[in-house]
Copies of this chain bind each other. A is one copy, B any other.
């Protein structure tokens, strides 16, 4: 049907079906060209004929107008041209009901899809993503169903952003019926879309057909939560077929409702996203919508250079040690160790004791001691490239506790020991609220 209308126009196609007589070139193209038995085409024609005879376009238009809906067709100003990519399965027309312009709203749009029987985690995630995308100027497209769909729409509405619902029934029908208030809100702030004429009820097949529109309207599809057998995965397949972006939100492996997402990730069909920013990074315009990569938490130690860190690690906790044995433990030359020890002492990391150098129990953290500026490391060790794994492991914490190392200045204040006696810069003023 799509090819018939594309080749001969809707009016000619309707006439041909009414007359049960397809254009000969079309028959040639469909049978010989596609190696399709002629009987199959005849059976299709009969089915189209019966359906056309049963239809009542004038009543559809009248019902649509009564419901406040408008009908758009390809070529109209409001027609979203990204649907052209559907080829012969592009819808012949769309019924719209709502305040905003469909084409304009979908210029920057993302589909958020997922399970109806979503968990609290899935609902939370969908709502957070809806808010985040909405606040960043992105339109959320979804199916208006229970669960993930509704949470995503509500999130977008909360952000004051337009949102698009694609229904599997007429735009005058509220399915599920308990979403009447949600749909009314969406009509005010977004738009409700369907390719079914007003009065059409949802069927299983229409949900599946509808899913291609959700994928085709948006720049990318995010599967928020889906079981292995889920309509959301059908939408995901459409997104892949259309070469649109596909992302999935991971969840606990103990939740069957994340199994579908994990399968998409495992098969590397979808990109793992954990925040709306990462979604925008994926679907956005290169350079315009880049997400800032999450920085690993920084600790004062990071600003020391490699050799100085090795020397610091070799300084004992309680009983002091001489520079020579520290140099051996650190595996560095004695002159290097002496220089590093001087710097570490100036920065307040270590102190002299009767037995030699030892860690200072309640040392000022590096950043808070302006007099240690001379220790400014020649080489900043913190990763400039955030795609690299962090050079320092969480062994840090354990070793620090074991060895009574100074806590980094980024740790929560509650776990930092106040350093009234030994702090030369009165930094306890900053901790006065403890």
Q: A296-B229, A328-B50, A399-B203 in contact; A273/B266 too (CB < 8 A)?
A: yes
Are the C-beta atoms of B393 and A208 separated by less than 8 Å?
Answer: yes
CB distance from A228 to the nearest CB of B (A): 5
Which of B237, B251, B332, B392 lies in contact with A43, CB distance below 8 A?
B332
Are the C-beta atoms of B252 and A121 separated by less than 8 Å?
Answer: yes
Complex contacts, A265 vs chain B, CB 8 Å: 250, 265, 272
Size of chain A's interface in residues, with CB distance under 8 A? Answer: 87
Complex contacts, A394 vs chain B, CB 8 Å: 115-117, 227, 229-232
Complex contacts, A423 vs chain B, CB 8 Å: none
Complex contacts, A35 vs chain B, CB 8 Å: none
CB distance from A128 to the nearest CB of B (A): 9
Interface string of A265-284 (1 = CB under 8 A from B): 11110011111001000000
> What's the Cα separation between A377 and B398 when bound, in Å?
64
Binds B, one of A102-110, A254-262, A341-349: A254-262
Are the C-beta atoms of B232 and A393 separated by less than 8 Å?
Answer: yes
Complex contacts, A204 vs chain B, CB 8 Å: 313, 392, 395-396, 399
Q: A116-B398, A204-B396, A207-B395 in contact; A390/B228 too (CB < 8 A)?
A: yes
A384 within 8 A of B: no
Q: A265-B250, A273-B266, A310-B205 in contact; A327/B389 too (CB < 8 A)?
A: no
Interface string of A373-393 (1 = CB under 8 A from B): 000000000000001111111
Which B residue's beta carbon lies closest to that of A177? Answer: B402
Which B residue's beta carbon lies closest to that of A232? Answer: B393
CB distance from A375 to the nearest CB of B (A): 19
CB distance from A317 to the nearest CB of B (A): 11
Interface string of A225-242 (1 = CB under 8 A from B): 001111111101100000
CB distance from A245 to the nearest CB of B (A): 13
A75 within 8 A of B: no
Are the C-beta atoms of A202 and B399 separated by less than 8 Å?
Answer: yes
Which B residue's beta carbon lies closest to that of A39? Answer: B333
> What's the Cα separation between A123 and B168 when bound, in Å?
44
Are the C-beta atoms of B336 and A43 separated by less than 8 Å?
Answer: yes
Complex contacts, A266 vs chain B, CB 8 Å: 271-274, 278
A249 within 8 A of B: yes
Complex contacts, A124 vs chain B, CB 8 Å: 254
A194 within 8 A of B: no
A356 within 8 A of B: no
Are the C-beta atoms of B313 and A205 separated by less than 8 Å?
Answer: yes
Q: A50-B327, A204-B399 in contact; A250/B254 too (CB < 8 A)?
A: no
Interface string of A397-421 (1 = CB under 8 A from B): 1110010000000000000000000
Are the C-beta atoms of B229 and A390 separated by less than 8 Å?
Answer: yes
Are the C-beta atoms of B294 and A228 separated by less than 8 Å?
Answer: yes
A300 within 8 A of B: no
New A-B pairs, 8, CB < 8 Å, besides A204-B395, A227-B394, A268-B271: A46-B334, A117-B394, A176-B398, A202-B399, A208-B392, A233-B390, A234-B389, A250-B262
**Would you mind naming 20 contact pairs between A and B with Cβ atoms under 8 Å apart?**
A43-B332, A43-B335, A46-B333, A47-B327, A54-B325, A115-B394, A116-B397, A202-B399, A203-B314, A205-B313, A207-B399, A211-B393, A232-B393, A234-B391, A236-B389, A237-B388, A250-B253, A251-B253, A259-B274, A268-B268
A residues adjacent to B (C-beta < 8 A): 43-44, 46-48, 50-51, 53-54, 115-117, 121, 124-125, 145-146, 168, 176, 202-205, 207-208, 211, 227-234, 236-237, 249-254, 258-259, 261-263, 265-268, 271-275, 278, 294, 296-297, 310, 313-314, 324-325, 327-328, 331-336, 387-399, 402
